[in-house]
């Protein structure tokens, strides 16, 4: 008695746990490779899979083995062509000559390194290793699940309001063609037999018979309705839960003359990193670019990073514009709002104090997180005026750091978004 | 009217059942005794999954299985290797996996091969009967899996992984080669565990916790020369006598060694097992064909696949990688049938009992009572040695040249056969290492002996690595002496925990 079981639908990731163990074990190696990839890849191109090499000796599993080439070995081979007993053969050069039929060939390829490919997911996981978005738990797949209606094809039943006329007509047309086809065929047969009787006098059938048959067919044809109930098609709509996995990220940057290309580049890297980070956590992430000199404006990415503009510096203008945009477009509570501000710290007069106050009272209560990074000139010890007044902001939704060089971007980023546990 | 079971290459579950029924009928007529079959259809991806756990339906998690999976997947994706058409597990009911990508003829071949050939071998070969418990293995695997998971929860991944790593390194030396192991049973294991825990609870006393910790030693009276007999099962010895292992670590050592023991017969019967299964798929499918139950196209596909499975490339061929167990095993079983049915003069001289006897009984007897080494020694005929054009090479360390020591001629047959047979002795692959002394009253170190066979010493790097694992499990120094024929140690390996 045999029993057949179809297992094809079973999950296929049975060895996923083992793969995860493997990656965990070789994290040190893999991390090194990942770091290298991060430094080589452009940020836009960051999120994809990557090859990792691990030295074979590190992944090998040792067992007691005989030393090859030592001692006396007697072995049998197939396919003798010319050897006779007693023949002497020169020993093959050191090397694999004839491997012990054993487990030597364990490596996939390339002998001394074990190579494998990290999936995009695994790569990104390592990329963001030890990081966690602050306050994420609250809104991520949040308690407040909105229901949203979404199109889901067509159904046969529904309310008149949802009637899809085009679909209904198509179905009706198809039905009519199908039902008429049979009648057409019979009509043809009839026409053929009429012709035959005309040629052949001996047939007894009369014209009346044919007339009657024709009429019957015509009647059947008329019985096919133009539209039937079964033709009706309705647009179907289903309700799907819509977790708040939407985020918007505001990029604020001072583009006055003192922000040179290098500083902008630093800022860009930071923004991109934040963007990547958010895309990992949220289904859709919108980005708003706000640049400011003494006046703020919303621009596209290209203009934001590469267009130059001259003028003074009023930080408050950008913050106010941000609030406007939030009010206008992201006020319905379903958005996770993040903001990152980059500046060289120049601010004059009452602007820094006002900005800090505005930030504390107006913006911070409404957003998830505000990160400020400063790209100061050189390494002068004196803090900028903006840095000094932002320093008075006390909120766990606010962080600020100074960045001097490209290499610092990631550590600073990691520091800003360190796991909550560390903060507490 | 034809009575073909099917034509064409598409398979359905209906057809699978029909083929299985027909093949089963013929198998019964030939007197094959099998476990009931449980045939599972899986996808290629699941087949890869199954590879990395040696086909076992349940296996505790370990990184090395992940590594195996990556290797297999890479080779498969790059096209270096196709997937096996089937995997079959020695259990009752006998589980066999069929891949959905196979054509109908291939599925029939796999059913004949795995569900009747291998299955009968698992059920009746003496090694499998004595050393494995087909009824208990699945339960035991589940028990082992749960236990390892449980330990991971309690003691952390790292600790469990370390222990498993060390035990895996010694898995080859965790088997009894001569003594019959106690049968495994998940229920009994669980009871044993519960007793052990209950004992620990009853004897738990807050007071003792304040004492400086001491290596806990099992209650065994160990005299001067302990063990009195050398112990070949290193993992067993560690499990029983290691002065430092925690109870859960002993249990893991036990699991690793039980599984190694379970696989041990398979390693000793590669040629026979594959040969027997191949012989039967060939015979059974030809019977279908002779009864006009399958058509020519079906048979051509089968023969194409069959002949590539039993192809033996010559030694100087670029695809040569040792003697193909399918080829040798199939040839030998077919040869037994030939000797029974059409013996030559030579056969009568070499196999007087076999010549002219009933081939069904003869193949059945051979299947039941031998393993590769003894099977070859008993049944390899001069004709086969000629067919395979076998020759033996003596590769002796002291000689400058390799010597062709015997070829397939009258003078060489017996030696050739002997040499080939000894090639299948596991001692030839797995070094013979035994525990000879446990210095309990001194530094608690352990002394192992490697009996050097034909001057073949241990490979140093891996040897030292394994010794480290050994010392980690033992908790005290371990010394390995390589002992030559004279009994004098040649070299030493030493490891501290």
Q: What is the pLDDT of residues A332-342, one digit of tens each?
A: 777 888 898 98
Q: Helix, strand or coil for residue A152?
A: strand
Contact B238, B473 (CB under 8 A): yes
Among A102-111, A374-383, B196-205, B400-409, name the one with the lowest average pLDDT: A102-111
Q: With helix as H, strand as E and coil as C, how does chain B read? A: CCCCCCCCCCCCHHHHHHHHHHHHHHHHHCCCCCCCEEEEEECHHHHHHHHHCCCCCCCCCCHHHHHHHHHHHHHHHCCCCCCCCEEEECCCCEEEEEECCCCHHHHHHHHHHHHHHHHHHHHHCHHHHHHCCCCCHHHHHHHHHHHHHHHHHHHCHHHHHHHHHHHHHCHHHCCCCCCCCCCCCHHHHHHHHHHHHHHHHHCCCHHHHCCCCCCCCCCCCCCCCCCCCCECCHHHHHHHHCCCCCHHHHHHHHHHHHHHHHHHHHHHCHHHHHHHHHHHHHHHHHHHHHCCCCCHHHHHHHHHHHHHHCCCCCCCCCCCCCCCHHHHHHHHHHHHHHHHHCCCHHHHHHCCCCCCCCHHHHHHHHHHHCCHHHHHHHHCCHHHHHHHCCEEEEECCCCCEEEEEEECCCCCHHHHHHHHHHHCCHHHCCCCEEEEEECCCCCCCEEEEEECECCECECHHHHHHHHHHHHHHHCCCEEEEEECCCCCEEEEEEECC
Contact B52, B62 (CB under 8 A): no
CB contact under 8 A, A8 and B42: yes
Per-residue pLDDT at A44: 53
Q: Which of A291-305, A373-387, B239-253 has the highest mean pLDDT?
A: B239-253
A15 touches chain B (CB under 8 A): yes
Give how far B208 is from chain A: nearest CA, Å.
Answer: 37
A19, A23, A56, A63: best mutation site toward chain B, by most B Cβ within 10 Å?
A63
Q: Provide the CB-side half-sphere exposure for B200 (13 A, CA).
A: 10
B62, B161, B450, B456: best mutation site toward chain A, by most A Cβ within 10 Å?
B456
CB contact under 8 A, A77 and B393: yes
In this predicted structure, the answer to whether residue A208 has a pLDDT above a threshold of 80 is: no
CB contact under 8 A, A64 and B430: yes
Domain-by-domain residue ranges, chain B? 13-125+269-306, 335-428
Greater model confidence, B53 or A349? A349
SS3 content of chain A, % helix, strand, coil (to 5): 45, 20, 35
Contacts of B409 (CB under 8 A, 6+ apart): A85
pLDDT in tens, B147-170: 999 899 889 888 999 999 999 999
Residue with tokens 């494998």: A116
**Chain B residues within 8 A of A115 when measuring between CB atoms:** 74
B12, B42, B63, B97: best mutation site toward chain A, by most A Cβ within 10 Å?
B63
Give how far B243 is from chain A: nearest CA, Å.
Answer: 23
- State phi, psi for A177 to the nearest 5 degrees: -60, -45
Per-residue pLDDT at A105: 36
Long-range contacts of B221-224 (CB under 8 A, 24+ apart): B222/B438, B222/B440
Greater model confidence, A30 or B331? B331
Among A112-121, A236-245, B201-210, name the one with the lowest average pLDDT: B201-210
What ipTM goes with this model? 0.82
CB contact under 8 A, A8 and B43: yes
On average, the pLDDT of chain B sits at 85
Q: Which of A244-258, B74-88, B255-269 has the highest mean pLDDT?
A: B255-269
pLDDT in tens, A315-332: 888 899 999 998 898 887
Per-residue pLDDT at A136: 44
Per-residue pLDDT at A82: 85
Locate A207 and state its tokens: 């014209």
In this predicted structure, the answer to whether residue B32 has a pLDDT above a threshold of 70 is: yes
Q: For residue B93, is the peptide bond before it cis, meaning its omega torsion is within 30 degrees of 0?
A: yes
Give how far B133 is from chain A: nearest CA, Å.
Answer: 20
pLDDT band at A112 (very low <50, low <70, confident <90, very high): low
pLDDT in tens, B384-426: 999 999 999 988 888 888 889 888 888 889 999 999 999 898 8
CB contact under 8 A, B431 and A64: yes
Smallest Cβ–Cβ distance between A15 and the set B13, B49, B409 belongs to: B49
Distance CA A18, CA B49 (A): 10
Contacts of B431 (CB under 8 A, 6+ apart): A64, A65, A66, B450, B456, B458
A98 touches chain B (CB under 8 A): yes
On average, the pLDDT of chain A sits at 77
Locate B369 and state its tokens: 């009572």
The conformation of residue A359, written as its DSSP 8-state character, comes to I
Percentage of residues in chain A having pLDDT higher than 90: 6
In the predicted model, what is the mean pLDDT of residues B368-389? 93
In this predicted structure, the answer to whether residue B265 has a pLDDT above a threshold of 70 is: yes
A311 touches chain B (CB under 8 A): no
Q: With helix as H, strand as E and coil as C, how does A360-423 read? A: HHHHHHHCCEEEEEECCCCCCCCCCHHHHHHCCCCCCCEEEEECCCHHHHHHHHHHHCECHHHH
Smallest Cβ–Cβ distance between A79 and the set B316, B420, B422 belongs to: B316
Smallest Cβ–Cβ distance between A72 and the set B46, B169, B455 belongs to: B455
Per-residue pLDDT at A42: 54
CB contact under 8 A, A70 and B315: no
Give how far A228 is from chain B: nearest CA, Å.
Answer: 40
Smallest Cβ–Cβ distance between B402 and the set A20, A76, A89 belongs to: A89
Largest CA distance in chain A: 122
pLDDT band at B210 (very low <50, low <70, confident <90, very high): low
**Chain A residues within 8 A of B457 when measuring between CB atoms:** 66-67, 70-71
**Chain B residues within 8 A of A79 when measuring between CB atoms:** 312-317, 320, 388-389
Greater model confidence, B95 or B205? B95
CB contact under 8 A, B53 and A15: yes
pLDDT band at B184 (very low <50, low <70, confident <90, very high): low
Smallest Cβ–Cβ distance between B314 and the set A75, A78, A115 belongs to: A78
Per-residue pLDDT at A314: 85
A22 touches chain B (CB under 8 A): yes
Percentage of residues in chain A having pLDDT higher than 70: 79
Q: Which residues pair with A115 in a beta bridge?
A: A53
Contacts of B453 (CB under 8 A, 6+ apart): A71, B427, B428, B432
């Amino acid at each position: 008695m045999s029993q057949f079981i179809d297992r094809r639908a079973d999950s296929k990731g049975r060895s996923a746990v083992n793969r995860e163990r493997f990656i965990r074990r070789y994290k040190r190696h893999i991390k090194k490779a990942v770091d290298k990839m991060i430094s080589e890849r452009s940020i836009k191109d960051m999120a994809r899979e990557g090859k990792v090499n691990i030295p074979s000796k590190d992944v090998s599993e040792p067992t007691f083995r005989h030393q090859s080439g030592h001692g006396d070995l007697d072995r049998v081979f197939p396919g003798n062509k010319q050897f006779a007993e007693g023949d002497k053969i020169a020993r093959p050069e050191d090397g694999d000559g004839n491997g012990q039929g054993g487990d030597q060939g364990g490596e996939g390829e390339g002998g001394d390194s074990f190579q494998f490919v990290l999936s995009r997911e695994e790569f990104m996981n390592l990329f963001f290793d030890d990081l966690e978005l602050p306050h994420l738990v609250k809104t991520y797949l949040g308690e407040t699940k909105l229901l949203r209606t979404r199109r889901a094809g067509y159904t046969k039943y529904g309310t008149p309001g949802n009637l899809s006329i085009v679909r209904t007509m198509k179905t009706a047309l198809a039905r009519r063609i199908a039902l008429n086809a049979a009648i057409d065929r019979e009509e043809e047969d009839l026409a053929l037999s009429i012709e035959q009787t005309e040629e052949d006098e001996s047939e007894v059938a009369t014209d009346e018979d044919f007339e009657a048959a024709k009429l019957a067919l015509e009647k059947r044809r008329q019985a096919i309705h133009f539209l039937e109930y079964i033709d009706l098609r309705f647009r179907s709509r289903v309700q799907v839960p819509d977790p708040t996995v939407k985020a918007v990220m505001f990029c604020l940057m001072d583009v006055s003359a003192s922000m040179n290309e290098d500083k902008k580049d630093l800022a860009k890297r930071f923004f991109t990193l934040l963007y990547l980070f958010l895309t990992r956590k949220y289904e859709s992430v919108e980005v708003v670019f706000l640049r400011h000199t003494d006046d703020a404006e919303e621009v596209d990415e290209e203009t934001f990073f590469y267009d130059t503009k001259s003028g003074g510096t009023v930080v408050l203008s950008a913050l106010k514009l941000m609030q406007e945009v939030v009010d206008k477009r992201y006020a319905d509570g379903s958005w996770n709002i993040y903001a990152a501000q980059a500046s060289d710290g120049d601010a004059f007069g009452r602007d820094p104090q006002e900005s800090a106050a505005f930030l504390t009272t107006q913006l911070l209560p409404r957003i998830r997180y505000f990160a400020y990074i400063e790209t100061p000139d050189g390494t002068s010890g004196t803090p900028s005026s903006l840095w000094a007044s932002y320093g008075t902001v006390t909120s766990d939704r606010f962080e600020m750091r100074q960045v001097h060089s490209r290499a610092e971007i990631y550590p600073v980023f990691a520091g800003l978004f360190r796991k909550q546990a560390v903060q507490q | 009217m034809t009575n073909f079971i099917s034509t064409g290459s598409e398979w359905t579950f209906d057809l699978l059942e029909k083929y299985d029924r027909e093949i089963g009928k013929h198998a019964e007529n030939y007197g094959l005794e099998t476990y009931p079959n449980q045939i599972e259809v899986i996808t290629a991806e699941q087949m890869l999954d199954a590879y990395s756990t040696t086909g076992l339906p349940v296996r505790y998690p370990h990184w090395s299985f992940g590594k195996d999976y990556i290797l297999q997947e890479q080779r498969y994706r790059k096209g270096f290797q196709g997937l096996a058409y089937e995997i079959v597990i020695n259990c009752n009911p006998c589980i066999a996996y069929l891949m959905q990508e196979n054509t109908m003829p291939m599925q029939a071949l796999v059913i004949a091969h795995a569900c009747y050939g291998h299955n009968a071998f698992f059920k009746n070969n003496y090694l499998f009967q004595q050393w494995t418990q087909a009824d208990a293995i699945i339960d035991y695997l589940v028990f082992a899996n749960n236990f390892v998971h449980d330990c991971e929860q309690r003691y952390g991944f790292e600790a469990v992984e370390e222990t498993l790593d060390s035990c895996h390194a010694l898995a080859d030396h965790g088997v009894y080669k001569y003594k019959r192991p106690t049968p495994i049973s998940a229920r009994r294991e669980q009871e044993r565990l519960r007793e052990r825990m209950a004992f620990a609870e009853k004897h738990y006393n807050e007071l003792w916790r304040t004492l400086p910790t001491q290596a806990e030693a099992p209650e065994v009276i160990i005299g001067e020369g302990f063990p009195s007999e050398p112990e070949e099962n290193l993992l067993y010895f560690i499990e029983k006598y290691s002065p430092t292992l925690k109870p859960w670590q002993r249990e893991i050592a036990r699991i690793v060694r039980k599984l190694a023991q379970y696989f041990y017969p398979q390693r000793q019967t590669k040629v026979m097992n594959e040969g027997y299964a191949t012989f039967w798929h060939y015979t059974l499918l030809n019977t279908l064909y002779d009864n006009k139950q399958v058509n020519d196209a079906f048979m051509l596909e089968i023969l194409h696949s069959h002949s590539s499975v039993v192809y033996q490339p010559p030694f100087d061929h670029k695809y040569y990688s040792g003697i193909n167990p399918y080829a040798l095993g199939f040839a030998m079983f077919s040869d037994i049938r030939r000797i029974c049915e059409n013996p030559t003069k030579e056969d009568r001289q070499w196999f007087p009992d076999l010549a002219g006897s009933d081939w069904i009984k003869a193949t059945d007897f051979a299947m039941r009572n031998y393993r590769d080494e003894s099977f070859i020694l008993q049944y390899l005929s001069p004709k086969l040695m000629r067919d395979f054009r076998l020759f033996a090479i003596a590769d002796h360390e002291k000689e400058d040249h390799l010597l062709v020591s015997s070829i397939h001629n009258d003078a060489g047959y017996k030696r050739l056969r002997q040499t080939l047979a000894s090639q299948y002795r596991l001692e030839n692959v797995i070094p013979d290492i035994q525990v000879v002394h446990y210095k309990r009253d001194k530094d608690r170190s352990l002394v192992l002996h490697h009996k050097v066979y034909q001057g073949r010493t241990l490979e140093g790097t891996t040897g030292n690595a394994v010794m480290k694992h050994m010392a980690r499990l033992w908790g005290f120094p371990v010394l390995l002496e390589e002992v030559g024929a004279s009994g004098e140690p040649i070299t030493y390996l030493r490891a501290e925990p």
